[in-house]
Amino acid sequence: MSKEEFKVKPVELDQTIKNIVEAIDNGYKLQHLPDEQLDAEGRLEFSDSLILKPDYQREYRSTIEEESSIIESILVGIPIPPVFLCSTRIKGVQVLNVVDGQHRLFALYRFRKGEFKLTGLPLLKDYEGKKFSELPIEEQELIIGHKLPAFVFREFPGKRFELEVFNRYNKGTKNLTPQEIRNAVYSSPHNDYITKFVEKLYKSNSDPVLSEIYNVTKDRFLKKKVHEGIFSILYVLEFGIDESFKDSTTYATEYMKKKAELFSEQGEEQALRDENNMIYEFEKFNAWLKQFTKYTPYPLSKELYGISSKSYKFQTSMALILPALYNRIKDNEKWKDKEFDFIVERIRMCLTSSFLEDPDYTASSTNSREIARLVESFTLD
Contact 367, 242 (CB under 8 A): no
| Per-range mean pLDDT, top range of 29-33, 95-99, 238-242, 327-331 | 238-242
Task: Find all residues with CB under 8 Å of 326, minimum gap 6, and list them.
Answer: 237, 285, 288
- Among 172, 197, 228, where does a domain finish? 172
Q: Which residue has the higher pLDDT, 175 or 109?
A: 109
Amino acid 90: pLDDT: 82
| Cα torsion angle, 243, 264, 144, 146, sign | negative
- 202/151 same-domain check: no
Q: Which residues pair with 100 in a beta bridge?
A: 84
Lowest model confidence (mean pLDDT) among 130-144, 165-179, 218-232: 165-179
Check pLDDT > 50 for residue 57. Answer: no
| Alpha-carbon span 368 to 355, nearest angstrom | 12
- Among 139, 172, 205, where does a domain finish? 172
Task: Find all residues with CB under 8 Å of 292, minimum gap 6, and list them.
Answer: 299, 304, 344
- 168/197 same-domain check: no
- 186/154 same-domain check: no
- 201/228 same-domain check: yes
- 58/135 same-domain check: yes
> Averaged over 73-98, what is the pLDDT?
86
- 254/370 same-domain check: yes
Contact 153, 94 (CB under 8 A): no
Give the up-direction half-sphere exposure of residue 146: CA atoms within 13 A in the CB hemisphere.
Answer: 26
- 151/232 same-domain check: no
Interstrand relation of 147-148 and 15-16 (parallel, antiparallel or unpaired): antiparallel
Length of the chain in terms of residues written: 381
- 70/187 same-domain check: no
- 160/217 same-domain check: no
Task: Find all residues with CB under 8 Å of 117, minimum gap 6, and list them.
Answer: 64, 129, 130, 131
- Among 172, 204, 239, where does a domain finish? 172
Domain containing 299 equals 179-377
- 219/334 same-domain check: yes
Check pLDDT > 90 for residue 12. Answer: no
- 307/342 same-domain check: yes
**Can you give the three-state secondary structure of the chain, one letter per residue?**
CCCHHHCCCCEECCEEHHHHHHHHHHHHHHHCCCCCCCCHHHHHHCCCEEECCCCCCCCCCCCHHHHHHHHHHHHHCCCCCCEEEEEEEECCEEEEEEEECHHHHHHHHHHHCCCCCCCCCCCCHHHCCCCHHHCCHHHHHHHHHCEECEEEECCCCHHHHHHHHHHHHHHHCCCCCHHHHHHHHCCCHHHHHHHHHHHHHHHHCCCHHHHHHCCCCHHHHHCCHHHHHHHHHHHHHHHCCCCCCCCCHHHHHHHHHHHHHHHHHHHHHHHHHHHHHHHHHHHHHHHHHHHHHHCCCCCCCHHHHCCCCCCCCCCHHHHHHHHHHHHHHHCCHHHCCCCHHHHHHHHHHHHHCCHHHCCCCCCCCCCHHHHHHHHHHCCCC
> Averaged over 359-376, what is the pLDDT?
92
Amino acid 9: pLDDT: 59
Could you tell me the pTM of the whole model? 0.63
Check pLDDT > 90 for residue 203. Answer: no
Check pLDDT > 80 for residue 130. Answer: yes
- 371/240 same-domain check: yes
Domain count, the chain: 2
Q: Which residue has the higher pLDDT, 95 or 158?
A: 95
